[in-house]
Structure 1
Amino acid sequence: MTHIADAAGHAESPTNPAGRQTRRAALATVLMGVSAVVAWQLTPTQRLSAVHGDFNLDTAVPKAFGDWQLDTTAVGGIVNPQQEELLKRLYSQILTRTYVNSQGQRVMLSIAYGNDQRDGLQLHYPEICYPAQGFRLASNRKVDLQLAGLVIPARRLETVLGEQRYEPVTYWTVIGETAVRGGTDKKIAEMRYGFRGVIPDGLLFRVSSIDRDTAAAYALQDQFSTELLTAVPVAVRGRIAGVDHIG
């Protein structure tokens, strides 16, 4: 009867594959062990937020700057209570304010910050949460904002609620030390930190205003954002806009 010699010099009968099965099981065990070691080595262990230090949005963002001051008469926007509760679990800080200038123009500001946002921010981009609250998304486009001497990759949306409330939106995301538009760019930034063993923090900066004139709304939002970034200390500006863009 013909026998087949295995790698260790043992004979195996083609009618009895027990030896082949044993070798496959051993190989699978080795591969599983190697995968576990690689995964352990690549698992981030250091929080970037600890390196950056404490960050308090309520005190870091001034209530008055340039031609803007906190609007104490503003009524809160439309909020889904369940979504708000979920956001509180995902983010360690959420700042929501409405500002008004000397001409009576208003801009709504929302900043959500989390010290571990590897998977959280992408779930709550404005193009997702606005339609979830009943808004129609009329447009969604990429832009490079020129603000306070910085170039910030961002997105601009046109949203409409019941053909009555026209609310253009501008937003960007910061992962660790880099401003990104979200999606693939966000994942790439997270992977870069992961390979260094670092857990990045994350921030989503959003401004919006109620205006049927979309171009005028975006111009106002740019003016507001520029004055805000100019008013805060450089370290805070880096956290809000991405320090890779700070000269």
Structure 2
Amino acid sequence: MNRRAIIIALLACVTAFGAQAITPRIALSDQLPALDLAALVPEQAGEWRVDPNVPAAVVNPQQDFAIQAIYNQTLSRTYVNARGDRIMLSIAYGSDQRDGVQVHMPEVCYPAQGFLLKSVRIDSLALAGGEIPVKRVETMHGNARPEPVTYWMTVGEDVVVNGKQKKLAELRYSIRGVYPDGLLFRVSTISRDSAAAYRMQDDFLRTIVAAIDPEHRPRFAGRGSIE
């Protein structure tokens, strides 16, 4: 074997060893209290309560087997207040949020179900401990179902709203030898007035997040959800 081949082989070995050394092997979910979405997200908070007579008509184009491969738990509910306003809530939790496991963002899922994507923008939501980034997605299905959506994702206790932020959050955990859990937290409303819908969604989100046990709250909405 010539000198060039030997050097290339040595570099390949060093690269492989380095990659193996920094591959996270510890699950963050094993170091933190277990999450039970149905138990931790209250059925009543402030003026909002679960409407048992209305199913949560949340768009989800994935088949059951695909959902189970990505998420450990999902929760879908419709909440209603005394005025009859309704908000659909969907939360999907996965214990492994590394690159190989990709969440399905609403701006991908909704068009897959025949919705028109009217706009997508990043915004912020004020919570008890500060602001967190959120994404606003305006969708329309035919002329009968305009559906403004607000969502965010968590990687461990970091809130992210795009792929770049997700990768950076994963890297911060991997440096510690940990691979994070995470979830997608989404609400939507059937409404032609997007501005009013987003104001109502924000009110609901502040109420429901504040009602979650503080011990678990950062994993639902990041550290900005804690006073």
TM tier, smaller: over 0.9
Gaps of at least 5 residues in structure 1 are 1-20
Pairs within 5 Å for 1:207-218: 207-218=187-198
The farther-off stretch of 229-238 and 32-41 is 229-238
Q: Match of 2:160, as an amino acid?
A: V
TM-score, length-scaled by structure 2: 0.94
- C-alpha contact 1:65 1:227 (8 A) present in aligned 2: yes
Q: Deviations over 1:110-163 (max 9, x none)?
A: 011111011366440000001111111100000011133431111001000012
Aligned amino acid, residue 201 of structure 1: D
1:241 aligned to 217, 221, 225, which one?
221
Task: Determine the structure 1 residue equivalent to 2:12.
Answer: 32
- Higher CA-based Rg: 1
Which AA in structure 2 matches 1:55? L
Partner SS, residue 190 of structure 1: helix
Aligned to 1:180: 160
Q: Does 1:108 align with 2:88?
A: yes
Match of 2:50? Answer: 70
More helix by share: 1
Does residue 194 of structure 1 match 2:187? no
Which residue of 104, 108, 120 corresponds with 1:124? 104
Cα distance, 1:231 vs. partner?
1.2
Closer/same/farther in 2, CA of residues 49 and 151 from structure 1, 3 Å limit: same
Give the deviation of 1:245 after TM superposition. 5.3
Q: d(CA) in 2 for partners of 1:178 and 1:82? A: 26
In 2, Cα distance between equivalents of 1:25 and 1:53: 50
> CA 1:80/1:188 → structure 2, altered by over 3 Å: closer, same or farther?
closer
Supply the AA of the counterpart residue of 2:43: K
Q: What is the one-letter code of the residue matched to 2:153?
A: T
Q: Which residue of 2 aligns with 1:228?
A: 208
Aligned length: 227
CA-based RMSD? 1.7
**Identity level (%):** 50
The one of 19, 22, 34 aligned to 1:54: 34
Distance in 2 (alpha carbons) for counterparts of 1:96 and 1:124:
15
Tell me which amino acid in the other structure corresponds to 1:125. M
Residues of 2 paired with 1:239 and 1:116: CA distance? 13
Contact 2:131/2:224 (CA < 8 Å) preserved in 1?
no
